Structure 1
């Protein structure tokens, strides 16, 4: 049996365009809603420690993104199918199905890119925005350069036209996805065997949709970000960003990148690794609580 978040119900809920999403929902039913979006190569399970800590005060909603985990994996090849704009619409629809027309939103990795797009597209819906360990898609491509870009080799692999990336990854799924779990966790013990196995199982079953998600970030997502940048769009809500010191590693000012999008910004660096919600749940929970208090 796959591991779950204790005390949470697992529901099937409507997203956009007829897609059905699976979400773990729990916490204080009278508390303000907080939606937590997972990253790669994970599922909603990555939030298990933080979700339990927030549950005393909030209604906590942890969906699997479209294309990941137990959520639907639409097979359409159009660029909008896995655009972050579409995935953000999923989150808004899912929350509405639970009776929430306004909610706080926190995302990690791929989920953070979805959260960023939701904040721009739905400013009257997203009350607070938390971002873990990314910069916006447009900026991500701009800061990767030279040999330092090797850290993001998978971004370039999955940006290639359909066919070769899917075949290569499917033929070595456990090795491919497992390499990120090994490289990005400062302490492998934060990913117990049953959790690691669930991430690998879920990712191996979702190769085509995961590649499509990444391919969108080399195309349609860049166009959407560029249009907002050209229009002077910014995030209207309080924003907290917690990330590793990627600016020092790759030679850019991460706080300045985020401040251009988020005037009301709390930018924090962490000593934890990429899987910070699992490695440092108290720190991340504290950051979320501080965000919600603004």
Structure 2
């Protein structure tokens, strides 16, 4: 299984037909699920999870398609179709995984925090399963629909990977697989405010995991250019909002891309605390004490 979070028990939990998630679990008290981002695994939460397990039941899964979790085959047609319940990597499907995981571990209601891709899953869980999610945190991301709305002109070059992996199956997978360590390593290097926060053995674990998951990672991103956009747009048109307390921490993307991030999030949330932070994208590894403090503050609301 590779690197583990010390002191955590590891379980393989069925969450859907033919799909089980790898999850690290520790602690006692009110439950909190932590979802990782790209190009990482649940290991990104290792410091924060150990801190929070002192007074919470902490659950850190690998998302479907990532790490040691199952990687079902994707149907590109479903990923592009808003009405396709069979979309294997829609955030709706991935959010349902997380609710099923928590229930299988005995928790019908739980707090949920996600970073990057995991934050998109958490956002969708908050909209689709409001009765299950008590508190929500989204780290360094915009909702999918808004992300595409602000990516325009030459500034969109920073998100070249979004456009690459949105292409039809075949070319993106072959290109990335041909130089997977260079591709995924590029983001680990580019987005880190403090490169030392990801030590060599953790970086190797991330690259090994991504190398083994190229098709499913691409499918996750492809869904975000198709079915996920349609789901978000339908919810925005219907006026659906996040009703639980929400904390959003993110870098000052708006200064570069020309938008007000807090305003974007206020359009979705009734109870929002938004904070711009000064560390890099991998904030749970770069500033774990700050992130743990912010999550504890969220849980006290």
TM-score (norm 1): 0.98
Match of 2:204 in 1: 197
Deviations 1:127-160 (A, max 9, x none): 0000000010000000111111011000000000
Match of 1:218 in 2: 225
* Aligned residue pair count: 292
State the shift of 1:18 in Å. 3.1
**Aligned residues of 2:66 and 2:213 also touching (Cα < 8 A):** yes
Deviations 1:52-102 (A, max 9, x none): 000011000000000000000001313211000000000000000000000
Match of 1:72 among 63, 70, 73: 70
Work out the CA distance in 1 between the residues paired with 2:16 and 2:296: 29
Match of 2:268 in 1: 261
Match of 1:207 in 2: 214
**Aligned residues of 1:8 and 1:26 also touching (Cα < 8 A):** yes
Match of 1:60 among 58, 61, 71: 58
Work out the CA distance in 2 between the residues paired with 1:188 and 1:223: 36
Which structure 1 segments of 5+ residues have no match? none
Work out the CA distance in 1 between the residues paired with 2:253 and 2:290: 18
Work out the CA distance in 2 between the residues paired with 1:187 and 1:230: 40
Match of 1:111 in 2: 118
**Aligned residues of 1:82 and 1:212 also touching (Cα < 8 A):** yes
Match of 1:172 in 2: 179
Work out the CA distance in 2 between the residues paired with 1:235 and 1:149: 28
**Aligned residues of 2:110 and 2:133 also touching (Cα < 8 A):** yes
Work out the CA distance in 2 between the residues paired with 1:257 and 1:76: 31
Match of 2:83 in 1: none
**Aligned residues of 2:262 and 2:274 also touching (Cα < 8 A):** yes
Which stretches of structure 1, 4 residues or more, deviate above 3 A after TM superposition?
A: none
Which structure 2 segments of 5+ residues have no match? 80-86
Deviations 1:230-261 (A, max 9, x none): 00000010000000001111110000000000
1:227 partner SS: helix
Work out the CA distance in 2 between the residues paired with 1:18 and 1:108: 26
Match of 1:252 in 2: 259
Match of 1:13 in 2: 13
1:113 partner SS: helix
1:94 partner SS: helix
Would you say 1:239 and 2:246 are equivalent positions? yes
Match of 1:3 in 2: 3
1:261 partner SS: coil
Would you say 1:229 and 2:227 are equivalent positions? no
Work out the CA distance in 1 between the residues paired with 2:152 and 2:195: 29
Give matches, 1:34-113, under 5 Å.
34-77=32-75, 78-79=78-79, 80-113=87-120
1:234 partner SS: coil
Work out the CA distance in 2 between the residues paired with 1:186 and 1:275: 8
State the shift of 1:278 in Å. 0.1
Deviations 1:12-39 (A, max 9, x none): 00122331000000112xx000000000
**Aligned residues of 2:74 and 2:216 also touching (Cα < 8 A):** no
Q: Give the alignment's Cα RMSD to 1 decimal.
A: 0.7
**Aligned residues of 2:74 and 2:219 also touching (Cα < 8 A):** no
2:16 partner SS: coil
